[in-house]
Copies of this chain bind each other. A is one copy, B any other.
Amino acid sequence: MSLPKTMRATVLYGEGDMRLVDDYPVPEPCSEEVIIKVEACAICGTDPKILAHGWPNHPPYGEFVFGHEYAGTIAALGEGVTKFKIGDRVTVEPHKGCGTCDNCRDGLYTTCLNYGIHEKGHRHYGFTENGGYADYACIHINCVSKIPDSMSIDEATLMTTAGTSLYGIRRIGGIKTGETIVVSGPGPVGLLTVVLARLLGADTIVLIGTRAERLELGLQLGADIAINVREENVIERILELTDGFGADAVLECAGNIQAAVDTVEYTKKSGRIALVGNYKEPAPMNIGKIMLSNLTVVGSRGEGERSVARSLALLGRKTIDISPLITHTFPLDEIHRAFEIAEKRLEGAIKVVVKP
């Protein structure tokens, strides 16, 4: 199959300056890379920040194509690729480690010590390398997974998000059957955490948030109890639900400082807390209680431990329908409008997908 020489691509030209061009060179795959014909790319919460401020070590303005939650079909194979064939339906994850640093050798590729150093083999697609708001995208096979037939291309764009949720779950040592799990923040990561916690054997799942519709959706997706922090005292309520002992584990996905601080107060002695959100300021954590209660607090970066591929298998079974998370789709031509909807969360937007 021969690819065109040029394509449409959403290129960043500077802070806040995103332009859709139609003469961007179609990339060529190196060894162990593939070219994907992008069919859908979801807008991540980080994308508007990249648009506004760039990202450390990003490709030069004028060349930088971003977008990292995309899916499509294999359009070309680099040298040595045997795992895929032309036409395979696939989705991607953004992180590829350098393969030689201590963390990569330990399997911790989302915390590669050569982050952003292209020459060392590190790739963070859509951040420090080109990504998927374009007709075609080039990516290393470590970041590519086949989609089961049961899953649509649009749903497949949710898999990096699901991988982030799953890695959060794995960072707390997995969910042990029978545990009471709190998920804080009903955004895409939080809602998919609810879905996965349910599919992985949690007992009671408590979802915390501020918006009624989101909490309602969370109940539909598998949560047992929803707590609106504007209406109830979260700490009291969770202690009450757990005979005063607190939750076994908490996944904080809101990126909210107070939400993070609160977790310590309603987690059981020897319980676990994952910080999965983005936090912009220091949080006044009650570390005295972290010590006295023997708590484990983990940051969870990216979608490590092959969590995207793992999520695909599980969500491909369709036990829970995740399609309601995709509230909007736009053609690539309307990417500016798509960003506005996504960033301002207009019209009840959760996940907004752009389709080249």
Integer count of this chain's copies in the complex? 4
Determine if B111 and A293 form an interchain contact, defined as CB atoms under 8 angstroms apart. yes
Q: How many positions in chain A have a CB within 8 Å of any CB in the partner chain? A: 75
- Residue among A110, A199, A203, A245 with the highest chain B CB neighbour number at 10 A: A203
Q: A111-B270, A298-B297, A299-B295 are in contact. Are A177 and B314 (CB under 8 A)?
A: yes
Chain B CB within 8 A of A305 CB? yes
Chain B residues with Cβ below 8 Å from A32 are: 100
Confirm or deny: A53 has a beta carbon within 8 angstroms of a beta carbon on chain B: no
Q: A residues 281-339 with Cβ under 8 Å of B?
A: 281-302, 304-307, 309-314
Q: Is the interface of A mostly helix, strand, loop or mixed?
A: mixed
Please tell me which one of the listed residues B203, B287, B313 contacts residue A285 in the complex, with CB atoms under 8 A apart: B287
Q: Is A219 an interface residue (CB 8 A)?
A: no
CB of A103 within 8 A of CB of B290, answer no
A105 at interface by CB-CB < 8 Å: yes
A7 to B103, CA, bound (A): 36
Assembly CA distance A226 to B77 (angstroms): 36
Taking CB atoms, residues of chain B closer than 8 Å to A80 are: 119-120
Known: A107-B108, A174-B174. A313 touches B100 (CB 8 A): no
- Whether A8 is near chain B, meaning CB under 8 Å from some CB there, is no
A291 contacts B287, CB within 8 Å? no
- Which residue, of A105, A108, A174, has the highest number of chain B Cβ atoms within 10 A? A105
Asked if A201 is at the interface (CB within 8 A of a chain B CB), the reply is yes
A148: min CB distance to chain B, Å: 10
Instruction: Specify which chain B residues have a CB less than 8 angstroms from the CB of A310 in the assembled complex.
Output: 176-178
Please give me the residue from chain B that is nearest to A257 by CB atom. B287
A-B contact pairs, 28 of them (CB 8 A): A32-B100, A107-B108, A110-B294, A111-B269, A113-B268, A177-B310, A177-B311, A178-B314, A269-B301, A277-B291, A282-B284, A282-B287, A283-B284, A283-B285, A283-B287, A289-B299, A290-B299, A291-B299, A291-B300, A292-B301, A293-B299, A294-B300, A294-B301, A294-B304, A295-B298, A296-B296, A296-B299, A297-B298
